[in-house]
């Protein structure tokens, strides 16, 4: 099942993302790997503060987009 998740970054900002494998994605956010997120790369460590399962990927991306709409992208909600 796909997940939507929210991370708290070390600078106090927040990042919202979606993934099919939450454990792997959290590892990518916190470690130097090629497919790590550019936004969180310079804001490590990050902490998972919320996550939710959704029925399909379209819902995951839709939830993610709605949660970012308030601030125009990543950052403080």
Per the CB < 8 A criterion, the answer to whether 13 and 76 are in contact is yes
Nearest to 4 by CA among 44, 49, 41: 49
Supply the pTM of this predicted model: 0.76
Instruction: Provide the mean pLDDT of the chain.
Output: 83
pLDDT at 34: 80
Q: Where are the domains of the chain?
A: 3-69
**44 class by beta-carbon count within 10 Å (0-12 exposed, 13-18 middle, 19+ buried):** middle
Q: Which of the 8 DSSP states describes residue 42?
A: T
pLDDT at 28: 94
- Strand, coil or helix: 64: helix
Low-confidence ranges of the chain (pLDDT < 50): 70-77
Q: How far apart are CA 37 and CA 15, in angstroms?
A: 10
């Amino acid at each position: 099942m796909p997940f939507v998740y929210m991370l708290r970054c070390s600078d106090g900002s927040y990042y919202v993302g979606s993934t099919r494998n939450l454990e792997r994605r959290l590892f990518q956010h916190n470690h130097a790997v090629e497919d790590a997120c550019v936004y969180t790369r310079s804001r490590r460590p990050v902490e998972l503060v919320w996550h939710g399962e959704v029925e399909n990927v379209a819902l995951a991306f839709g939830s993610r987009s709605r949660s970012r709409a308030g601030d125009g992208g990543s950052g403080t909600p």
